Amino acid sequence: MNIREISFLTYILKCKTFSTPLSDYCIKNTVNGNGMSLLAAYADDENSSILGFCVLNKMNFKNISLDYLLVREENRRTGIGKKLLAAAINYAKEQGNVAVLARIIINTKEEDLSFIIRNKLLTNYGFQITRTSSIIRCNLEKSKPIWYNFMKEKGEKLIARSKAKGFSVVSFAKAGGLIDNLKKKIKDEFPRELNPTHFIDNPVDKLIPELSFIAVKNNIPVSYCIVTTVDGKALVFQQLSVALKYKRTGVFFLPFAAFMEQLFLQNSYHKVSYTVLDTNKEMIKLVNGFLDSFIESKKSQNFYMLLI
């Protein structure tokens, strides 16, 4: 077996019998990096078949992200995964990177086996968990009456209180220069673990301007939410973030409520997933206080890093 870098064309031609929609997605979704590399494990020379591959996404700040690792089912448990991972780490070093990032999604309903394997692979090479989050999928049909009830009992009061204090909310579709203003403030004035710039102008994880909102006071962004779609059918509520200065003021609710209202008005999406970082207190508050009653499935994801 030998491992070499392959082109996108070789991926299309030689990996299509075992590649997955997720590997295709990871390859397309490299827009905000500095390019993508594919490493493949050939059975023998370049004319032989490919037994597995990994997708490396070159990020900013001398980090490389291992976005996907896949071995043909019939060739698993023979050490190919480990060799691809070792090759990826070597490749990252040769390219002058300082860290390799990786992410694992764990479907709690599935058997834990795949998690154990992937976790084992990464931890054996010294990767450490940097943060964890949940992906929560909700059924919109079920949530509609619960949402309107919640608004009547609690939500409307929260919004009225914020409005009385001079806060308002605007969609990305109508935000104009506020979006650049938000981009400028992200680094210093918002929690660092969330960054909306990855999703702004991203052709794969497309931001939906009519469903993403910024709350403002005196024309200054105080909180925002980012909602995206890949296929125009399923929605992902990617981020809800509040400026550090406005923590515990309740302004996180403004963009979230505007999103929910608009979502039910448009009525064109049926499923929505919420990404919730375990450190995002505002989002956790919403999940526990409101979303919990119509969760259909819940997955966890771990983010790993290896300093090289």
Ligand X SMILES: CC(C)(COP(=O)(O)OP(=O)(O)OC[C@H]1O[C@@H](n2cnc3c(N)ncnc32)[C@H](O)[C@@H]1OP(=O)(O)O)[C@@H](O)C(=O)NCCC(=O)NCCS
Does 39 interact with ligand X (rule: CB under 6 A)?
A: no
Binding-site size, ligand X (CB under 6 A): 18
Does 21 interact with ligand X (rule: CB under 6 A)?
A: no
> Among the candidate windows 71-79, 132-140, 249-257, 267-275, which touches ligand X by CB under 6 A?
71-79
Q: What is the DSSP letter of 256?
A: H
Query: What is Dmax (Cα atoms) for the chain?
Result: 70
Does 71 interact with ligand X (rule: CB under 6 A)?
A: yes
Does 76 interact with ligand X (rule: CB under 6 A)?
A: yes
Report, in Å, the least distance between residue 194 CB and ligand X: 22
Does 77 interact with ligand X (rule: CB under 6 A)?
A: yes
Q: How far apart are CA 70 and CA 81, in angstroms?
A: 7
Binding positions for ligand X, 91-130, rule CB under 6 A: 113-114, 117-118, 120-121, 124
Neighbours of 134 (CB within 10 A): 20
Does 69 interact with ligand X (rule: CB under 6 A)?
A: yes
Phi/psi at 121 (nearest 5 deg)? Answer: -55, -50
> Among the candidate windows 63-71, 131-139, 150-158, 207-215, which touches ligand X by CB under 6 A?
63-71
Does 43 interact with ligand X (rule: CB under 6 A)?
A: no
Q: What is the DSSP letter of 271?
A: E
Angle, helices 140-150/253-266, rounded to nearest 10 degrees: 130
Q: How far apart are CA 187 and CA 190, in angstroms?
A: 6
Does 272 interact with ligand X (rule: CB under 6 A)?
A: no
By C-beta, is 124 or 149 nearer to ligand X?
Answer: 124
Question: Is 304:102 a contact under the CB 8 Å cutoff?
Answer: yes
Sign of the Cα pseudo-torsion (111, 29, 205, 289, in order): positive
Selected binder of ligand X within 70, 170, 214, 257 (CB under 6 A): 70
Phi/psi at 2 (nearest 5 deg)? Answer: -140, 150
Question: Is 158:150 a contact under the CB 8 Å cutoff?
Answer: no
Question: Is 187:279 a contact under the CB 8 Å cutoff?
Answer: no
Does 68 interact with ligand X (rule: CB under 6 A)?
A: yes
By C-beta, is 19 or 181 nearer to ligand X?
Answer: 19
Report, in Å, the least distance between residue 280 CB and ligand X: 23
Question: Is 228:172 a contact under the CB 8 Å cutoff?
Answer: no
Report, in Å, the least distance between residue 41 CB and ligand X: 9
Selected binder of ligand X within 78, 123, 149, 297 (CB under 6 A): 78
Does 38 interact with ligand X (rule: CB under 6 A)?
A: no
Report, in Å, the least distance between residue 118 CB and ligand X: 5
Does 154 interact with ligand X (rule: CB under 6 A)?
A: no
Question: Is 210:266 a contact under the CB 8 Å cutoff?
Answer: yes
Phi/psi at 246 (nearest 5 deg)? Answer: -110, 20
Q: Which positions touch ligand X (CB under 6 A)?
A: 68-71, 76-82, 113-114, 117-118, 120-121, 124
